Amino acid sequence: MDIRLDGISHAYGETEVLRDISLDVASGQIVCLVGPSGCGKSTLLRFLGGLERPSAGRVLQLGTPPEGCLNPLTYVFQDFALLPWRSVRGNISLVLEDHGIRGAKADEIIADVLARTKLTDFAKALPKQLSGGMKQRVAIARALAVKPAVMLMDEPLSALDSQTRELLMDDLIALWERQPFTAVYVTHNLAEAVRLGHKIVVLSRRPGQIREVVEIAKPLSERGYADAELEQVQKHLWNLMRDEARAADEELLNV
């Protein structure tokens, strides 16, 4: 299933937040959204997830969700949102229970997502026993369990230290290589965008408009750390972002 954003605009009262956003998210693609603070990235994800409706424009689901899909548009949050009193397994089984899936069928799905996120040995652990990076892997496993058409990821690595972020980027790439998933991935971190994005959408400051869409053809598995080609793209993104970010920063101070 592909997703198409068609002319999305939005205002909260007097505040215009997004202006005329049109964008395609193709199945199997990771689309990164970057842009200055307050430009409407999280708002756009809420429209994608159907949590809110834009003032104008539409979110279209093109085609049918994958087989066994329980929730086509599934969030992964920055703060993991795990239930502390439930084990890794229990956190995942909960979303399946919400959809009436229990017993052998649930066991099969849980075993699969734990294996894909390399958490099989930690099924019985409680969140407090896990590092931040592992907690986010649990949150990703839980999202995968509902076989989403698109994962909506709002700065999923930004609560983590830089080394953990690097490891988790490697994990996400390995996960995608084993079985491609589709994601809209919001990040402030341009290095993250060029490591993970097939397509990087640069938004202007508020009201967020698309400044440029940068596509990176290089396969994820070949995108190493300190890759000269990616550094060039990152530099280009930063040039686009710098003036917007500075102006946005100064605007926020004037509020």
Ligand X SMILES: Nc1ncnc2c1ncn2[C@@H]1O[C@H](COP(=O)(O)OP(=O)(O)OP(=O)(O)O)[C@@H](O)[C@H]1O
| Shortest Å, Cβ 244 to ligand X | 11
| Shortest Å, Cβ 250 to ligand X | 14
Partner in contact with 238, chosen from Mg ion, ligand X, none, beta carbon below 5 to 8 Å by kind:
none
Omega within 30 of 0 (cis) for the link into 207: yes
| Shortest Å, Cβ 52 to Mg ion | 13
Q: Please tell me whether residue 42 binds Mg ion under the rule CB under 5 A.
A: yes
Q: Pairing relation of β-strands 2-12 and 15-25?
A: antiparallel
Cβ within 8 Å of residue 19, ≥6 positions away: 9, 207, 208, 209
> 196 and 32 in contact (C-beta within 8 Å)?
yes
**Measured from the CB atom, is 113 or 203 closer to ligand X?**
203
Part of the chain binding Mg ion (CB under 5 A), chosen from 38-46, 101-109, 209-217, 224-232: 38-46
Give residue 87's region: left, alpha or beta (phi > 0; psi -120 to 50).
beta
| Shortest Å, Cβ 17 to ligand X | 4
**Measured from the CB atom, is 36 or 127 closer to Mg ion?**
36
Partner in contact with 149, chosen from Mg ion, ligand X, none, beta carbon below 5 to 8 Å by kind:
none
**Measured from the CB atom, is 116 or 205 closer to ligand X?**
205
Q: Please tell me whether residue 71 binds Mg ion under the rule CB under 5 A.
A: no
**Measured from the CB atom, is 146 or 152 closer to Mg ion?**
152
Angle at CA of residue 162, ends 77 and 29, nearest 5°: 50
Partner in contact with 142, chosen from ligand X, Mg ion, none, beta carbon below 5 to 8 Å by kind:
none
Q: Which residues would be at the binding site for ligand X (CB under 6 A)?
A: 12, 15, 17, 35, 37-43, 206
**Measured from the CB atom, is 15 or 232 closer to ligand X?**
15
Give the separation between CA 82 and CA 136, rounded to whole angstroms.
9
| Shortest Å, Cβ 140 to Mg ion | 19
**Measured from the CB atom, is 42 or 164 closer to Mg ion?**
42
Q: How far is CA 103 from CA 11, 97, 110, 122, in A?
A: 46, 10, 11, 20
| Shortest Å, Cβ 112 to ligand X | 32
Q: How far is CA 161 from CA 32, 68, 81, 200, in A?
A: 20, 35, 18, 23
Closest by CA position to 212, among listed 197, 223, 222, 196: 197
Residue tagged 């990235």 (tokens): 41
**Measured from the CB atom, is 62 or 252 closer to ligand X?**
252
Partner in contact with 40, chosen from ligand X, Mg ion, none, beta carbon below 5 to 8 Å by kind:
ligand X
Give the separation between CA 179 and CA 210, rounded to whole angstroms.
30
Partner in contact with 17, chosen from Mg ion, ligand X, none, beta carbon below 5 to 8 Å by kind:
ligand X
Residue-level length of the chain: 255
Q: Which residues bind Mg ion (CB under 5 A)?
A: 42
